[in-house]
């Protein structure tokens, strides 16, 4: 049986009134894609910033305009719900958005496995009912038990998310890790697992560190990207949020953060657990203040303590 065809000139043109961007220059309308990077590069902060921008219609990272606000559906597999709330509330404050009015729906099940048919069906039913403009899934490694290095196992999971996007006209942002030791590779090539992940994305965002600088690379399937956009994690209580900056963060004047914020920022930059003495010497504050800050961060679930020392929860 012959396949149907149509002459190129008879193909329907793009709707001139349709907005091509979900977030201008950062994420295409109804795009699927990856937010990637190595540990402690604030991938979750970036994913939540996209969520707040879309839900509020405010510029993402205080720079990239969001043409049309819409509902966001979020599953944060690694963070306690009170931490998700605190981070969203802080980003909303940084964006001058009303937190209580944000149309962000958080999936509260303890586990979501996209390699299980019943979980796929449950997520599809949720998307069908809520009709989100953006679906955020953070991170990929907690959403399956497949071998990420085997294309034949990765492809069906990505195909499911693509079908979800096309069926319900929703953008999908998937947080994923980069491979260790791949800091000098191109963002997409540094992603952990099969090359299917890089090829799948319509819009991909990659975070990496260059010395003390945090850099964002932007990649689109059908638009001009950008490289080495400088970002900084700005603390302005109660806000703690990423922000695009014109100068390296080390050169920019900043308000003095509290002891708790200085400790959290130090642990976020650390590549190995730190002892209390190392933390105190780095932040140059009294032992009692550092001890209280660490105790608060542990109680909030933002820091974990082990025999090796203290480290920020990813």
138-181: pLDDT as tens digits: 999 999 999 999 999 999 999 999 999 999 999 999 999 998 76
Please check whether the domain covering 259-312 is classified as CATH 1.10.10.10: yes
Q: What is the DSSP string of 132-189?
A: -SEEEEE-GGGS--S-TT-HHHHHHHHHHHHHHHHHHT-EEEEEEEBPTT-TTS-GGG
Rounded Cα distance, 249 and 13, in Å: 44
> Is 259-312 the same fold as 21-244?
no
**pLDDT value, residue 60:** 98
Identify the weakest region by mean pLDDT among 30-39, 175-184, 194-203: 175-184
**pLDDT value, residue 252:** 47
Tabulate helix, strand, coil % of the chain (nearest 5). Answer: 35, 25, 40
Rounded Cα distance, 60 and 242, in Å: 9
Rounded Cα distance, 250 and 231, in Å: 11
Cis peptide before 139 (omega within 30 of 0): yes
CB 287 within 8 A of CB 270: no
Report the run of H or E that residue 55 belongs to, with start and end.
helix 43-56
Taking 60 as the threshold, does the pLDDT of residue 251 lie above it? no
CB 6 within 8 A of CB 15: no
**pLDDT value, residue 183:** 59
CB 38 within 8 A of CB 180: yes
Binned at pLDDT 50, 70 and 90, residue 255 comes out as low
Bigger pLDDT: 228 or 183? 228
Bigger pLDDT: 152 or 267? 152
Binned at pLDDT 50, 70 and 90, residue 182 comes out as low
- Comparing CA positions, the residue from 100, 73, 85, 62 lying closest to residue 234 is 62
Nearest 5°: CA angle at 174, between 133 and 270?
A: 125
CB 85 within 8 A of CB 115: no
Q: Please state the rounded mean pLDDT for residues 242-260.
A: 71
Binned at pLDDT 50, 70 and 90, residue 229 comes out as very high
Q: In the chain, what are the domain boundaries? A: 21-244, 259-312
- Comparing CA positions, the residue from 204, 115, 113, 191 lying closest to residue 154 is 115
**pLDDT value, residue 119:** 98
Q: Please state the rounded mean pLDDT for residues 87-101.
A: 96
**pLDDT value, residue 10:** 94
Binned at pLDDT 50, 70 and 90, residue 256 comes out as low
Distances (CA, A) of 287 to 155, 273, 279, 280, 295: 51, 18, 9, 6, 12
**pLDDT value, residue 312:** 84
Taking 90 as the threshold, does the pLDDT of residue 54 lie above it? yes
For the domain made up of 21-244, the CATH class stated in words is: alpha beta
Rounded Cα distance, 167 and 173, in Å: 16
- Comparing CA positions, the residue from 232, 262, 269, 236 lying closest to residue 248 is 232
Residues 6+ apart with CB under 8 A from 207: 35, 36, 37, 38, 41, 42, 43, 46, 214, 215, 216, 231
């Amino acid at each position: 049986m012959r396949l149907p065809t149509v002459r190129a000139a008879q193909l329907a043109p793009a709707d001139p009134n349709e907005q091509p961007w979900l977030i201008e220059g950062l994420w295409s309308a109804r795009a699927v894609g990856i937010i990637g990077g190595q540990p402690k590069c604030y991938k979750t902060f970036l994913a939540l910033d996209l969520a707040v921008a879309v839900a509020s219609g405010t510029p993402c990272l205080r720079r990239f305009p969001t043409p049309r606000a819409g509902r966001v559906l979020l599953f944060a597999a690694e963070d306690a719900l009170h931490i998700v709330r605190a981070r969203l509330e802080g980003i909303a404050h940084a964006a001058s958005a009303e937190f209580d009015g944000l149309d962000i729906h958080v999936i509260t099940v303890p586990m979501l496995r996209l390699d299980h048919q019943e979980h796929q069906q449950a997520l599809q039913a949720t998307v069908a009912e809520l009709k989100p403009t953006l679906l955020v899934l953070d991170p990929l490694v907690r959403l399956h038990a497949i071998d990420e290095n085997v294309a034949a196992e990765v492809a069906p999971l990505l195909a499911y998310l693509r079908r979800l996007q096309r069926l319900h006209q929703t953008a999908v942002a998937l947080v994923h890790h980069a491979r260790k030791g791949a800091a000098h590779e191109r963002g997409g090539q540094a992603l952990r697992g099969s090359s299917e992940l890089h090829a799948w994305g319509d819009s991909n965002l990659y975070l990496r560190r260059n010395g003390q600088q945090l850099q964002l690379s932007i990649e689109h399937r059908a638009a001009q990207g950008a490289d080495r956009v400088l970002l900084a994690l700005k603390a302005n209580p109660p806000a703690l949020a990423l922000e695009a900056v014109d100068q390296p963060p080390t050169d920019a004047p900043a308000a003095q953060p509290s002891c708790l914020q200085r400790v959290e920022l130090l642990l976020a930059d650390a590549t190995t657990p730190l002892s209390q003495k190392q933390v105190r010497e780095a932040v140059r504050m009294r032992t009692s203040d550092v001890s209280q800050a660490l105790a608060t961060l542990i109680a909030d679930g933002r820091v974990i303590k082990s025999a090796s020392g203290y480290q920020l929860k990813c």
